[in-house]
C-alpha cells in the first residue's frame, strides 16, 4: 500500500494527484452529470469538487491545472461571504474564467442563515437553497445545477440526490466513497477502483483551493 498524497499542498503535488486519478480511472464527470450516469455507466468514475469559500484566484489556478491535464471539476461558490460574493471584487472574473475552461460552477450552501441550535425543516432548507441558487445565477448569468454543503445535514433526506431541485454533492449517495484534502494522507487502496461495487463506484474528491499554492 503506497501513499498517493502525503499532505503537500503544492501545485506540483496536485498535478500528481490528477495524474494518478487519470491512470486509475477511465471516467471523470461533473456533479451535474451524476444523476444521468450513476447507474448507466458501468465503470468506476470520479468527480472533483472544490468548495470555494475564499481566495477565488487560487480556484482559478487549480482550474487551469485541471484544464491542462484534461480533467473536469466542479467549483462551488459561497455567496454568504461579503468579501467573496460572486457579484463583487475578483470573484466574477474568476467564475467566468473557470466556466470558460469547461468546469462546472455551483453553489456552496453554508447554512449560515439558520440559527444555531435550531434544526430547520427540510422545506426551509430546500427554499433557502433555491433562493441562493437564484442569487448566484443572477450574479454570473448562467444556470446553476448543483449544490454542496459543509457536511451532510440531518434534516435533508439521505437517499435523495437532489436539494432545492439541484444535484446535492453532499448526498450520502455521492459520499459513500469520499476523500477530502483536509484528511491526509491518501493511500492507494483508498483511491483504487472498488471491485465490490463495480456498477456504482463513484469517488468524490473534495478540494479547498485556499489551502493550495
- Per-residue pLDDT reduced to its tens digit, 121-142: 778 888 889 999 999 998 888 9
pLDDT tens digits for 55-112? Answer: 999 999 999 999 999 999 999 999 887 766 777 788 899 999 999 999 999 999 987 6
User: Is 198's pLDDT higher than 60?
Assistant: no
CATH number, domain of 163, equals 3.20.20
Domain enclosing residue 127, as ranges? 3-211
How many distinct structural domains can be found in the chain?
A: 1
State the alpha helices, DSSP H only, in the chain. 11-24, 34-37, 56-68, 91-100, 122-140, 188-191
pLDDT of residue 70: 97
Q: Tally the C-alpha atoms within 13 A of residue 138's C-alpha that lie toward its C-beta.
A: 8
Cα distance between residue 205 and residue 46, in whole Å? 8
For the chain, how long is the longest CA-to-CA vector? Answer: 47
| Rounded average pLDDT over 188-194 | 82
47 pLDDT more than 60: yes
Amino acid at each position: 500500500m503506497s501513499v498517493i498524497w502525503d499532505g503537500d499542498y503544492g501545485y506540483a503535488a496536485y498535478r500528481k494527484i490528477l495524474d494518478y486519478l487519470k491512470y486509475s480511472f477511465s471516467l471523470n464527470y461533473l456533479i451535474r452529470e451524476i444523476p444521468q450516469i450513476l447507474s448507466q455507466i458501468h465503470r468506476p468514475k470520479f468527480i472533483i469538487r472544490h468548495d470555494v469559500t475564499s481566495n477565488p484566484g487560487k480556484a482559478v489556478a487549480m482550474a487551469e491545472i485541471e484544464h491542462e491535464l484534461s480533467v473536469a471539476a466542479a467549483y462551488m461558490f459561497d455567496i454568504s461571504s461579503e468579501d467573496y460574493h460572486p457579484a463583487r471584487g475578483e470573484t466574477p472574473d474568476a467564475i467566468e474564467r473557470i466556466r470558460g475552461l469547461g468546469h462546472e460552477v455551483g453553489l456552496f450552501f453554508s447554512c449560515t442563515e439558520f440559527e444555531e441550535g435550531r434544526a430547520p425543516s427540510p422545506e426551509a432548507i430546500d427554499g433557502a437553497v433555491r433562493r441562493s441558487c437564484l442569487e448566484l445565477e443572477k450574479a454570473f448569468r448562467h444556470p446553476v445545477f448543483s449544490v454542496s454543503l459543509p457536511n451532510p445535514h440531518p434534516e435533508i433526506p439521505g437517499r435523495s440526490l437532489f436539494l432545492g431541485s439541484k444535484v446535492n454533492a453532499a448526498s450520502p449517495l455521492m459520499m459513500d466513497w469520499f476523500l477530502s484534502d483536509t484528511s491526509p494522507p491518501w493511500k492507494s487502496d483508498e483511491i483504487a477502483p472498488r471491485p465490490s461495487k463495480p456498477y456504482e463506484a463513484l469517488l468524490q474528491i473534495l478540494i479547498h483551493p485556499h489551502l493550495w499554492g
